[in-house]
Structures are given as structure tokens and as C-alpha cells.
Amino acid sequence: MIIIPIVLAMALMVICIGTFGIDSKQTFFMTLLLAVYVILVTIAYIRLRPMINATLVDYSLEQGKIQKELLRKLAVPYAILDTDGHIMWANNEFHKTVGVSPKKHINKGVDSYFPELAPNIFTSLEGKLNMDVEFGDRKFNALIKRVDLSNVFDADREESKDDDIVNVMYLFDITELKALQKENQDQKLIAGLAYIDNYDETMDSLDEIKHSIITALVDRKINMYLGNVDAIVKHLENDKYLFIFPQKYLQTLKDDKFSLVDDIKSINVGNDIPMTLSIGIGAGTDSFVEAYEYARVAIGLALGRGGDQAAVKYGDQVSYFGGKSAGVEKTTRVKARVKAQAFEELLESRDKVIIMAHKRPDADAFGSAVGIYRLVTTLNHKAHIVINEVTDAIRPIISSFKGSNIYGDMIINSEQAINMVGPGTMVVVCDVNRPSMTECEELLSMVSSIVVFDHHRQTSEAIANATLSYIEPFASSACEMITEMFQYISIKPKIRPVEADAMYAGILIDTDNFMTKTGVRTFDAASYLRKCGSDVTRVRKMFRTNLMEMKERAQGISNAEIYMNSFALSYVVPDPNSGDAPTVPVAKAANELLNVENIKASFVVTEAENGTLYVSARSIGDMNVQVIMEKFGGGGHATVAGVQLKDTTKEEFFAKLKEILASMYSEGEI
């Protein structure tokens, strides 16, 4: 910068020389003075330049020392790391934080102090990274930045070398902040609802004088249990309770697996039916009103899955506890009457009904769809059943319909159904309550009116915005539910024998010839269908087993492995010449294995050509296989359940199943 005055002086001298013609004496005098000035400045520049440079260097070094000292004494832990996460330099606060001397950390990986900071984080780092780490009882927010030193020392270098890259890390202590956040979360209020599932049935089995005794015992158990979590309990109705407690106790209840559910069942004052309790808890929101709404959703899910369990809805996540029992059949038909009348009222404003069940429909799915078809047509509305694939399970029944001109347009495929949708179209879903498993999921988003009839226990995946939902886990089959509704329609349906056969077949197959899940209402429904013209012999002929199916069933039995002396695990290899997976023989093999002594549950699998693994799970009633299948993403009934798995081999399935069974057994869940 000191050379600038010399340059300016010489430029001024040139100007002065150019003015000689105007006034030569003054111009000469000015030029002389400028020349002397230039000479003096030049001498000063030559002599003072080394001193100025030295001063600047000393100043720079001093500033570097000051900055280094400031970093060393910085109150925030600070470290410089290489691209592999090894410590190159750290300040005093960092040494104090990790509790080591400065010499011991050189070239030591930072992950030795903070395991969360693995070496791969630094090798793939671009720009900066912000994450929480822990050391001892302290929590830190680690801010890591990637620095390219080539841009600092050599701006002209086009590419950076590995040696030019370092990572700088700041650690901000957030221990108190996290503690305050946790305290704030712990103090949030959680809403809970507790319903006695079978209050009326239990009271009916007792003398009136004992009603107050059992009520007092239930109140005492509920208040004592919830009193341990600092809860406020309000008895709303005879069979309903509302309770509120701080969120910090939620994990305590989860760890305890809501033992209150089992405690209530132990109450016995002479009642023939054990009293069961369902609990719904809502959490994971800042609004208590939303928490209460979550609790209502949770109690609905618990009841929809058969009761005798707890459901916790934390935001969008739902977890279940209990549910080991198969439930008790409801002897009252009030619900069936109410749903039948509601369905009839909904039909008044609709001109067309599209009925669908689950993918690869079975006898119960098709039979219940036929029952709804008869209900709708009896009330003078147009109806169609969506079936994309006719499996071996329903081929004998469908063939009896195809031989009649009356049912010419009854069965359609998904494409035809989508083209039929209009403003007055209603979709009825039967024998399934999970949208992803329906025959044509797209239909659910195309209509404004959806009705669901199902006997499977609900999961967190449910059909949204259903106008009417009738889910009865205690029913043996969807055909049983639809048959009951026939008796409460204003215009009594005239069921044709072929339709009665289809519905009777649904009950027959789902109950394994009335061996499982049967109750008084099951036999009442079968009796009603028999009166409508169902022929037991005709239905039996439809479902006679061919030789190949018999061999596949025998294969499932012969391949069986007994696990933990209580569970039968087996598989069926499908016939390569058959284009269909042997799901029916698999289900029958699972049923047969229950006849083996000491077997509580059976699991039989087979694999289709597309790689899908089909699993059939059955139990004798001592345990709930639906809870087990839910862990694989499946579902079903307490004694009959299943799942379809993709990208999974039977070896992988059985390995995971054994882990789950062992874990559930050790935790007392089975």
C-alpha cells in the first residue's frame, strides 16, 4: 500500500511537465519539488519496507496466538478431527468434559468417548451435521462442520486433497434443557377410558343381591390400580370409567402390561361368566381434548378386537396389551337389529351397491357377499359383487351361480366396478376390515358411503370414514352376522337355495364343520339357512377333497415339527403343475394338527408362484393366534388367523416365529 503515494506523485509530475508552455518558471519549480518528494518517498519505502513487513508478521502471529488461546480457553468444548473422526486438537473444556489430559487423546477416535459419533459419519459428512450425544450423565448437542483448508491457504488450488480436509466439532451441554423437556412431557395429562365388556351378561348370571358386591370389587380394583399412577378416576356409568394421569406413568403401565385386565377377570362372587375389562389410552399430543379423542379411538379398537385388552394410541402409533382370551359370545342380538335397520336406512338414498370382500376370497367372503347381495336386491336396489380371482376355495360355489341366468351380472371385476361408480353408489365391504386387503382398494376413495361387515378383530389399519361399521369379533363368520340381519329387515328376504348354500358353506368352512368358534347364535344362523333351503349334503359334495389336495394336506401333517412341546410348525410344497397356492389344504392341515396331544396352536405355510408366503394359524382356544399373526402384519380371529408375506422365505418366517413364541412365553403372554 505504501507504493501508492509514489505512483500518484509521478503521475502528478507528468502533468506538471505538460504545463511548461503556460508558465515555465512556476512549472519548473513545482516539478523540482515533486521530484524531491518522489526521491524522499522512494528512499523511505526502500528502507522502511522490511520493518513494515516484520511488524505485519508480528501482528499476524500475535493475532493467531490470541485466537488459539481464545479457542483453548473457550467455555464450549471444541475439537478438530480428521476425516476418520480422530482427534487432532482439542481445547481445555473438551479435556475437562471427557476427563482426560491433553496428551492422551491425540489420534484417538472421538467415538471412544461418544459412541454415537461412528467413523462412517465423518467419512460421509458433507457440510455440517447436528446430533445429540451422551457422555456419562451429561447430554450434548454436537455441531460438526467440514472445513476445507485449501481455500484458506491456497485460493488458487482447484482441487482439495484429503490432508486439506478437517472436521471441527462443538459440544453444547443440553442436559438441563433435556431434563426440563422431559419434565414438561411427564407432566402432560393423559386421558384413559375403561369399559367392562360384558357387564350385562355378568350381572344376568348373578343374583341381584350380589350386583352391588361385584360392582364394589371392580371399583376397588380399578381405583387401587390407577391410584398407583397418581390417577383421578371417575365412574361415568355402570360399565364405564374415565381416568386421567400424568404421562410419566405411561411406561410404568406398559411395563406392567396392564395387569388390571387380568385382575378384573379374577373377581368371582358366584358369577358364571368372568368379567372382562377393556382399556383405551390416548397420548402423544399437546391438546388434552385430542388426547381424549385418541382414548375414544383406542377403546374402540380394543372393543373391536374382542375386548379383554388395553390399547394405547400414542399419536399415530397404536400398541396393544393383553387380548389373550378369545372373548365371550354376546347372547343379545340388539346390535344386529340396530345395524340392520341402519343399513336399510342408508340404502334409501342409494341407487347402486358394490360389494367386495378380501383378495383371494374364501367361502365365508363369498357367502357373506351373496347374503348382502340378497339383502340389497330385496330392497329393490341394484347390486354387484367384485371378484377378480376365482380360487379353488370358492370355485364349486360360484359354478352353481353361473348356471343360472338370474345372476348374469352379479359378479364383476375391479375395472368394471370402477366404471360403475356414480354419485349414488355405496360400497359394502364384508369379511375384512383392512383397506389394503380388500379386492379393490381404489373403490374406497371413490365413494362417499362405505359400510363394513366383518368378524375379524380390528388392527390399527382400518377403513377410514366408514358410514356404518359392524365388526363383531365374537361371531364365528361374516355369514353368521349377515344371516342374523335377515331377520330384522322390514321386507323379509326370500333366500334362494343356492344362496343359502353359499352362506351355509361360509359358516361351515370358518367353523371347521362347527368345531371351532361356535356359539348359540352360530347354530341359530345355520338353522335359519336350513329352513331357507340349504342342503347339507349338497354343500358337503361341493367341498369334497380331491386326491391332490388330500396329499398336500398329508404333506403338511408329515412335515410338522413340534416346538416347545406346544406348537406345531409345518409347511406344504405346492404342486408345480398347479397354478394356485394350496391355501385350503394348508388351512385344513393346520386344523388337523390341533388334534395332536398337547398342541395349543399350529402354524402351516406354503408359497405361491409369485413368491408370496401364505401362513395359516390355528389354536384350540387356549391361546390367541391373532395376536401372534399381528406381529407379522396379519390378523384374523382369536383361534383362526393368518398372514401373507412377501420377500420372506419359510425358513426366515419360522426362525422369527420361534423367537416370538419364546419371547411371549417368557413374558407370560402365552
Mean pLDDT of 117-134: 80
- Using pLDDT thresholds of 50, 70 and 90, give the confidence band for residue 66: low
Task: For residue 191, give the H/E element and its range.
Answer: strand 189-196
**pLDDT for 199-239, tens place per residue?**
888 888 788 888 888 889 999 999 999 999 989 999 988 88
- Using pLDDT thresholds of 50, 70 and 90, give the confidence band for residue 160: very low
CB 450 within 8 A of CB 426: yes
Residue 597 has pLDDT above 60, yes or no: yes
Which amino acid would we find at residue 331?
T
Residue 509 buriedness (CB in 10 A; 0-12 / 13-18 / 19+) = buried
Cβ partners under 8 Å of residue 282, min gap 6: 190, 191, 192, 290, 291, 292, 293, 294, 295, 296, 297, 298, 313
What is the average pLDDT value for the chain, to the nearest integer?
81
Q: Between 176 and 620, whose confidence is greater?
A: 176
Residue 267 CA to residue 277 CA, distance in Å, equals 11
Cell of 145: 462442520
- Using pLDDT thresholds of 50, 70 and 90, give the confidence band for residue 665: confident
**pLDDT for 395-427, tens place per residue?**
888 888 876 777 878 888 899 889 988 888 999
Residue ranges in 272-362 assigned as alpha helix (H): 288-304, 334-347
For the chain, the farthest-separated pair of C-alpha atoms sits apart, in whole angstroms, at 141
Tell me what percent of the residues of the chain surpass a pLDDT of 70.
84
Residue 242 CA to residue 231 CA, distance in Å, equals 10
Q: Which of 146-155, 598-607, 643-652 has the lowest mean pLDDT?
A: 146-155
Residue 594 has pLDDT above 60, yes or no: yes
Q: What are phi and psi of 46, to 5 degrees?
A: -65, -40
CB 470 within 8 A of CB 453: yes
**pLDDT for 324-382, tens place per residue?**
655 555 555 677 888 888 888 888 888 889 999 988 888 899 999 999 999 999 888 88
Residue 144 CA to residue 141 CA, distance in Å, equals 10
Q: Any idea what DSSP says for residue 535?
A: -
Cell of 664: 411371549
**pLDDT for 477-502, tens place per residue?**
899 999 988 888 888 888 888 899 99
Of 422, 424, 402, 400, the C-alpha closest to 411 is 402
- Using pLDDT thresholds of 50, 70 and 90, give the confidence band for residue 153: very low
Q: What is the pLDDT of residue 579?
A: 54
Mean pLDDT of 164-190: 83
Residue 295 buriedness (CB in 10 A; 0-12 / 13-18 / 19+) = buried
In the beta sheet, which residues pair with residue 317? Answer: 314
Of 363, 362, 417, the C-alpha closest to 386 is 417
Task: For residue 666, give the H/E element and its range.
Answer: helix 650-666
Q: Does the global pTM surpass 0.95?
A: no
Q: Strand 189-196 vs strand 277-283: parallel, antiparallel, or unpaired?
A: antiparallel
- CA dist 609 → 358, 388, 617 (Å): 20, 18, 21
Of 103, 73, 68, the C-alpha closest to 87 is 103
Residue ranges in 154-249 assigned as alpha helix (H): 175-186, 199-204, 211-227
Residue 159 has pLDDT above 60, yes or no: no
Which stretches of 517-608 are assigned E, i.e. beta strand? 561-563, 567-572, 601-607
Q: What is the pLDDT of residue 243?
A: 94
**pLDDT for 21-64, tens place per residue?**
555 666 677 777 777 777 777 777 676 666 666 665 555 555 55
CA angle, corner 375, sides to 374 and 378, nearest 5?
A: 80
Q: What is the pLDDT of residue 333?
A: 67
Distance of CA 490 to the CA centre of its chain: 42
